Structure 1
Amino acid sequence: MRLVHRGERSEDSPGSDDDDREPTVLADDVDVARSTLEQGRGLMFRRSIPDGYALVFPFDGVDARWLHMVFVPFAIDALWVVDGEVQKRARLAPFVGLGRAQADTVVELPAGAAAGVAVGDEVRLVE
């Protein structure tokens, strides 16, 4: 499973229904936190995460989703996503970082991995 990103369609591109934006791989080592226990633990108590890694939190429906960095000793990039569209991107600091936004999916990546991702971009899991 991979996490892929497509930038927002340029206003200069022809008005076509075909999506010709080239996807880029944000992560090729993806864990999905489905259970309440997995979601509650998140990245806590890990010493680091490797480049190319993502932890994805899928939820049933859109709601305010909080992230905290308690017991996480490294910075991360976080994405809040609704129906595959990025609603917010934030860099969260070790131990004290806190973030909140509306989302049906939250993605945690190594710091810097989401540097090219903007609000409105598409982010999806693919096999």
Structure 2
Amino acid sequence: MRLIHRSGAIDPEGGEPTAPSERVLAEDVEVADSALSQALGLMFRRSIPDDYALVFRFDEADSRSLHMAFVPFAIDAVWLVDGEVTKVKRLRPWIGLGWGTADTVVELPAGAADGVEPGDTVEVES
């Protein structure tokens, strides 16, 4: 599986949409599909690979929070509703907190979500 980011940038001078772009955010995608894996998230890991993503899927969009307790490295968090980005935030090691509306939350190494903006799409491809 891989995680794909698609964006259609707006030309700041004319306000017209430009050609959409696509890039791979991660080639190594893990889905937290059990209550235990969702509760643990990235806790107690020493690091994650540069091309890694941890995906949390939920049945419906709701307020979803993340904490960085026992996570000793920074991450980028992306909140999605129906594949559309609603929020992106860098979370600090150990003390970071974040929340947003989502039916899917993605955790990536810090810097991996640079350029991902609300309104873009992010999806897992097999």
Kept in 1: contact 2:8–2:17 (CA 8 A): no
- Aligned runs of 1:71-82 on 2, under 5 Å? 71-82=70-81
- Aligned runs of 1:96-107 on 2, under 5 Å? 96-107=95-106
Aligned residue identity for 1:54 = A
- Verify: 1:86 aligned to 2:96, yes or no: no
Aligned residue identity for 1:125 = V
Kept in 2: contact 1:8–1:122 (CA 8 A): no
1:9 Cα shift?
4.8
The equivalent residue for 1:12 is 16
Structure 2: state its 5+ residue gaps.
none
Q: Deviations over 1:46-73 (max 9, x none)?
A: 0000101000000000111010000000
Please report the TM-score for the alignment, with normalisation by the length of structure 1: 0.92
Distance 2:79 2:39 in 1: 16
1:90 Cα shift?
0.2
Kept in 1: contact 2:6–2:23 (CA 8 A): yes
Structure 1: state its 5+ residue gaps.
15-19
Distance 2:99 2:112 in 1: 19
Q: Percent identity?
A: 61
Kept in 1: contact 2:79–2:87 (CA 8 A): yes
Say which SS state the counterpart of residue 70 (structure 1) adopts.
coil
Distance 1:88 1:13 in 2: 21
Aligned residue identity for 1:62 = A
1:23 Cα shift?
1.5
Distance 1:61 1:108 in 2: 18
The equivalent residue for 2:53 is 54
The equivalent residue for 2:109 is 110
Distance 1:3 1:126 in 2: 6
- Verify: 1:126 aligned to 2:125, yes or no: yes
Structure 1 runs of 4+ off > 6 angstroms?
Answer: none
